Amino acid sequence: MEEKLLAKNPTAYHNYTIDSTLEAGIVLTGTEIKSIRNGKSNIKDTYVNIKNGEVFIYGMHISPYEFGNIYNKDPLRTRKLLLNKREINRLYGMIKQKGVSIVPIKMYMKGNKVKLEIGIGKGKKLYDKREDIAKKDAMLKMKRAIQKNKL
């Protein structure tokens, strides 16, 4: 099945060391789906939490649909994620460990359904972030040197 990327969290891999990922569905209304298809969604400052055995995403912004009038919902409302009981229990056990968080990574269309890829990871310290930036910079310099030698 083909996947179309709708929104991406650029800070997910920068701020967290992602260990594993899961695919989750999202409970949305009709006008929210239309707005997402138009590319009017943002998952940059979002987080996922488990409450009463259910998984919710907080802070996800979906702009109101232009032609939705009374059917539009609050752009920042809490939305439920669809996971089975075994996955929820696994997530719950993992986030009980110190420093482990559930982070939304990307939102995409799979067929005609909107899916959210969530990652389980630990927050990085400042020195870890600097180390990653230095590695990326070194790799970029090596690629440029190789390209220069080929010419």
Q: Write out the two tokens for 34.
A: 């239309």
Element (DSSP H or E) covering residue 89: helix 85-95
Go through 69-90 and write b for each residue having 16 or more CB atoms within 10 A of its CB, e for each that does not: eeebbeeeeebebebeeebbee
Instruction: Examine the pLDDT at 71 and tell me if it is beyond 70.
Output: no
**Residue 1 pLDDT:** 66
The Cα–Cα gap between 145 and 139 comes to: 10
Domains, the chain: 3-125 (2.40.280.10)
Tens-place pLDDT, residues 133-150: 888 888 898 888 888 887
DSSP 35-48: HHHTT-EE-TT-EE
Tens-place pLDDT, residues 79-101: 889 989 998 888 888 888 777 88
pTM over 0.85: no
